[in-house]
Structure 1
């Protein structure tokens, strides 16, 4: 299998040794994604704003890998405060609309930067 890697171009991918997304067969796996700028620096904002920015980055990675939001079958959301679930959930719902992937939300002690409150990863299935 030829391995394709989708990169967002930030230093973190090389430093940590990961790709933003990796298509493999009929699947596209998108790494945990947070609200960052084009240089990979964290963006502050409300939980819903951070969720929307992260999901836009996910959508860009999916597109580069040949998939769309409609192909997403699973999302995982890691949040630093479970009390933010209504706001994060609403942003997720608005983004995925009728797609309604299987979804998990888990509270974690912290993310890579204290300004970040949500990280999202997705899996998509595409027709080959």
Structure 2
């Protein structure tokens, strides 16, 4: 049996070391991108009070993580949109749409009570599968 290569993807968030997580993990053709918050490079919240802006920021971070893992938006097979207020679903989906229109992944939309940072209105998770992974 062939052993699949494991690749950890970091975006430099200092919490990765503190908590012990990776932005994304690729094993063979499979990539999981964990709960992605709407933060900038300094860890500051982007788009305070604006779920569309926050969702867009999450997807920009996800796009960069997928590219770092040798993939892209076209390989997304599942998205999870996690909101603090389910009434914001339309704005979040409007922001998600341009990132997922070609791949048309399955989607789950859910609400939680709150995130670690109360400024965050949304977090996004995605799973991707690279169709052609020869040599991985």
Shorter-chain TM band: over 0.9
The CA deviation at 1:77 is 1.0
Partner SS for 2:93: helix
Aligned CA-pair RMSD: 1.1
Identify the residue that residue 14 of structure 2 maps to in structure 1.
11
How many correspondences in the alignment?
Answer: 128
Query: Which runs of 5 or more residues in structure 1 are unaligned?
Result: none
Matched, 1:94 2:81: no
Q: TM-score, normalised by structure 2?
A: 0.90
Q: Does 1:20 align with 2:20?
A: no
Once the 2 structures are TM-superposed, how far is the Cα of residue 3 of structure 1 from its aligned partner? 2.4
Which is greater in Rg? 2
| TM-score (norm. length: structure 1) | 0.95
Task: Summarize deviations over 1:45-95 as a string: whole Å, max 9, x none.
Answer: 410100000000000000000011000000011100000011101111122
Question: Is 1:63 the equivalent of 2:64?
Answer: no
**Given the alignment, which residue of 21, 33, 39 partners 2:42?**
39
**5+ long unaligned stretches in structure 2:** none
